[in-house]
């Protein structure tokens, strides 16, 4: 399911990554570690979104390519 | 400077130390940790997409591997402690909550469901169903057409809300627990269709009923321009943690 880093990710993998980032950054039990990125004044929700938004142009490009699998 | 990254909490009786990982045990709980350089985890790094991808994938990978052996309670990304003793303290302080979470997710997995709409197709279908009657006066025809378009758009929105509600309710019947999240915006999904449903369900690990039902719902709604898909199984990210942050 995971591509090697050298390969350009396909749209489907991008969506899986989005799912993943959404869960890993925004869900799960919150603990206060010695270093907890979210307490440093930046909400991880927005960090994750910002990073993904920055790559939205990549997503657009991928979306316009013919999909390998027929979308429903 | 060294530190310990905590991925999640597993059942101390079932979990084993997998390659590159350590278990920090306290009673029934075992925190899954790995040595990291805490200096690497900065806010700036969070904006480095390849770095973030790598770390997020690693987080998921570790939790998924533990999910195969037994229950696992995912921690949110980026929890780092300087000392292992502090991880033991964490398990002690949060014991009741973590134990409760661990039992809730035991033998279960999370499935994600997304609902997509081809808005143009949906509105076309609705407009056809209205069987718009042709009018004689050109001026009136224009106004009526504009009104009809507005009506169709409103009808489409109402229909999507209805479908989202009923599909979620139906799927929740097949699950131990259910969560509705906000649909992701098109800038993020990069997909032509609009996401109108973004939900997660906690189901018994080997149970295919929900996945099958999503397939059925998908077929039933395709004519309207709607589609549904299942993702996962995931570690139960959406079903742990006492409060919704």
Q: Express each pLDDT in B74-127 by its tens digit.
A: 999 889 999 999 999 999 999 999 999 999 999 999 999 999 999 999 999 998
Q: Do A15 and B190 touch (CB under 8 A)?
A: yes
| Each residue's pLDDT tens digit, A11-38 | 566 667 788 888 888 889 988 877 666 5
Render the burial of B113-145: b for 16+ CB within 10 Å, e for the rest: bbbbbbbeebbebbbeeeeeeeeeeeeeeeeee
Q: Is B241 helix (H, G, I), strand (E, B) or coil?
A: coil
List the structure tokens of A61: 């490009």
| Identity of the residue in B59, B79, B112 whose CB atom sits nearest the CB atom of A19 | B112
User: Of residues A51 and A20, which shows the higher confidence score?
Assistant: A20
Query: What's the token pair of residue A26?
Result: 């925004």
CA B113 – CA A34 distance, rounded (Å)? 35
Does residue B172 surpass a pLDDT of 50? yes
Inform me whether the pLDDT recorded for B148 exceeds 50. yes
The pLDDT assigned to B74 comes to 97
**Best CA proximity match to A33, nearest among B41, B105, B25:** B41
Residue at token pair 């009657």: B133
Averaged pLDDT, A39-58: 50
CB A42 within 8 A of CB B46: yes
> Can you give the residue range of the structural domain that contains A56?
11-64
Prediction pTM value = 0.82
**A16 domain residue, yes or no:** yes
Q: Is the pLDDT of residue B133 over 80?
A: no
* A30 vs B138, residue with greater confidence: A30
Element (H, E) at B192: none
Nearest CA in chain B to A31: B79
**Cα B233 to the center of its chain, rounded Å:** 10
| Confidence at A44, pLDDT banded by 50, 70, 90 | low
Q: What is the ipTM of this complex?
A: 0.84
Instruction: Count up the domains in chain A and report the number.
Output: 1
**Is A67 an 8 Å CB contact of chain B?**
no
pLDDT at A72: 34
Q: CA B147, B151, B155: angle at the middle one, nearest 5?
A: 170
CB B222 within 8 A of CB B214: no
Nearest-5° Cα angle at A22, A20 to A27: 105
Please name the residues in contact with B169: beta carbons below 8 A apart, sequence gap of 6 or more: none
The band of B141, judged by pLDDT with boundaries at 50, 70 and 90, is: confident
Say what percent of chain B tops pLDDT 70. 95
Contact check, Cβ <8 Å, B76/A25 = yes
* Model confidence pLDDT, tens digit, residues B11-59: 999 999 999 999 999 999 999 999 999 888 877 777 777 888 889 899 9
Q: Is the pLDDT of residue B215 over 50?
A: yes
Nearest-10 Cα torsion for B197, B202, B206, B207? -60
For residue A47, is it within any domain?
yes
pLDDT one-digit tens code per residue, B216-230: 999 999 999 999 999
pLDDT at B245 over 80: no
Split at pLDDT 50, 70, 90, the class of A71 is very low
Q: Do B43 and A22 touch (CB under 8 A)?
A: no
Q: How many CA atoms lie within 13 A of A21 on its CB side?
A: 27
B94, B207 Cβ separation under 8 angstroms? no
B213 pLDDT higher than 80: yes
Interfacial A residues in 13-32 facing B (CB < 8 Å): 14-31
**Cβ–Cβ gap B231/A19 under 8 Å:** yes
A34 interfacial to chain B (CB closer than 8 Å): yes
């Amino acid at each position: 399911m995971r591509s090697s880093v050298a390969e350009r990710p396909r749209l489907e993998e991008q969506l899986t990554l989005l799912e993943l980032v959404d869960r890993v950054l925004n869900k799960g039990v919150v603990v206060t570690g010695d270093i907890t990125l979210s307490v440093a004044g930046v909400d991880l929700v927005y960090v994750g979104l910002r990073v993904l938004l920055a790559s939205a142009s990549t997503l657009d490009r991928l979306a316009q390519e013919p999909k390998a699998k027929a979308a429903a | 400077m060294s530190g310990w990254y905590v991925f999640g909490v597993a059942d101390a009786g079932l979990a084993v130390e997998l390659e590159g990982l350590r278990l920090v045990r306290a009673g029934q709980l075992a925190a899954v940790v790995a040595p990291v350089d805490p200096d690497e985890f900065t806010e700036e790094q969070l904006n480095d997409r390849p770095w973030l991808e790598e770390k997020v994938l690693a987080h998921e990978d570790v939790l998924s591997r533990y999910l195969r052996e037994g229950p696992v309670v995912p921690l949110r990304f980026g929890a780092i402690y300087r000392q292992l003793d502090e991880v033991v303290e964490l398990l002690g302080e949060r014991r009741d909550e973590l134990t409760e979470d661990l039992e809730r997710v035991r033998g279960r997995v999370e499935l994600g469901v997304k609902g997509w709409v081809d808005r143009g197709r949906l509105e076309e279908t609705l407009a056809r169903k209205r069987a718009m009657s042709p009018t004689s006066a050109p001026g009136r025809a224009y106004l009526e057409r504009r009104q009809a378009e507005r009506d169709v758009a409103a009808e489409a929105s109402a229909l999507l809300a209805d479908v989202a509600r009923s599909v979620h309710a139906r799927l929740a019947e097949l699950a131990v627990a259910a969560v509705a999240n906000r649909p992701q915006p098109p800038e993020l999904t990069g997909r032509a269709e609009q996401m109108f449903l973004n939900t997660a369900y906690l189901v018994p690990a080997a149970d295919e009923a929900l996945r099958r039902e999503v397939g059925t719902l998908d077929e039933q709604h395709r004519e309207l321009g709607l589609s549904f898909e299942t993702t996962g199984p995931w570690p139960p990210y959406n079903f742990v943690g006492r409060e919704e942050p």
